Amino acid sequence: MDNYISVKNLLKTYEGKTALNHISLSVPRNSIFGLLGPNGAGKTTFIRILNKIIAFDSGEITIDNKPLNKFKVSSIGYLPEERGLYKKMKVADQIIYFAMLKGLDKTTARKKTYQLLKKFNMLSWAGLKLQELSKGMQQKVQFLITIIHDPDLLILDEPFTGFDPINQQIIKNEILQLHKNGKTIIFSTHQMASVEELCDYIVLINNGQNILEGKISQIKQQFKQNIFQISFQSPTDLPPNQMFQILESDKLNYKIKLSPQYTSNQLLLYVAQYGNILSFNEILPSLQDIFIQVVQKTQTPQS
């Protein structure tokens, strides 16, 4: 696997408190990578280190095969959870200003600003001061500032905060398009449904340590519990069998836990004797369920 970011044995402490405890992880190139964890887990510290806002104590970070100290921050598009825009500055002027800070000349910055405003149906806002916009619309401006310089790496921290469902979908579609265009995207959020929808890989951090990492599909297989949902065409009585345990049933729909020594094919052949099957599906755990299960196992006991 070609990793765009590699982190080895990363340590960061604040006044004796360990924020990142010798953490190691890899972000595959051109992936949408979910950075997950409960509040205070170390996610924000990690993001700030990648953006060279703070230094780390020890360890090693490479981005695009370059040590972090030789990687240009201008190649990162960072959308922070705490937004930082100028309330009295006009929308277009603000986007142009930040684009120039990222290395674009004024002519290019202005051209790209109005291209993005048009693309996102925001041209009518160009001359408005930021404080005249709703919180969600201000967030949209912040997103345009994040992507205007066409960065190779995007770090999006709670990108959907303040958005209504329509604008959430607009931003999701743009994230997917950026991914299609070859960008590597770190996506930090507590919205597990969005992670399942967008991300290829995740890392779950708790107490400054990596407690789970990998491809989402493989993680779900790792945590599956052999539970199946079976729907029949007409009411059906399934007799008890050592092969499975019936968890729920209304005679049309059965939720069944298969014993580990049997296969799904054996289960399907057995239940097919008793009625016409409309659907037969394995129920995989949600990312939300996995998150809660793993974090609870690694919580530090309170003294």
How long is the chain?
303
pLDDT-derived band at 240 (thresholds 50, 70, 90) equals confident
User: Looking at residues 113-123, what average pLDDT do you find?
Assistant: 95
Q: How far is the C-alpha of 131 from the C-alpha of 144, rounded, in Å?
A: 17
pLDDT band at 33 (very low <50, low <70, confident <90, very high): very high
Strands 3-14 and 17-28: antiparallel
How does pLDDT run across 147-191, given as a tens digit for each residue? Answer: 999 999 999 999 998 888 999 999 999 999 999 999 999 999 988
Predicted pLDDT at 1: 67
* Residues 54 and 104 placed together within one structural domain of the fold: yes
Higher pLDDT, 37 or 302: 37
Whether residue 106 sits in one domain with residue 14:
yes
Helix, strand, coil tally for the chain in percent (to 5) = 35, 30, 35
Gap between the Cα atoms of 10 and 119, Å rounded: 40
Q: At what angle do helices 135-147 and 91-101 cross, to 10 degrees?
A: 30
Q: In the predicted model, is pLDDT for residue 17 greater than 60?
A: yes
Any idea which residue has 């921050």 for tokens? 73
pLDDT grade for 136, boundaries at 50, 70 and 90: confident
Q: What is the pTM for the complete model shown?
A: 0.89
Domain total of the chain: 2
Question: In a 10 Å sphere around its CB, with 0-12 CB exposed, 13-18 middle and 19+ buried, how is residue 88 labelled?
Answer: exposed
pLDDT of amino acid 303: 35
Range of the domain at 166: 3-220
pLDDT above 70 covers a percentage of the chain that reads 98
Whether 215 is covered by a domain: the verdict is yes
Q: Within this chain, do residues 181 and 41 fall inside the same structural domain, yes or no? A: yes
CA angle 255, 256, 261 (to 5 degrees): 160
Domain membership of residue 122 (yes or no) is: yes
How far apart CA 279 and CA 302 sit, in angstroms, is: 46
pLDDT at 83 over 80: no
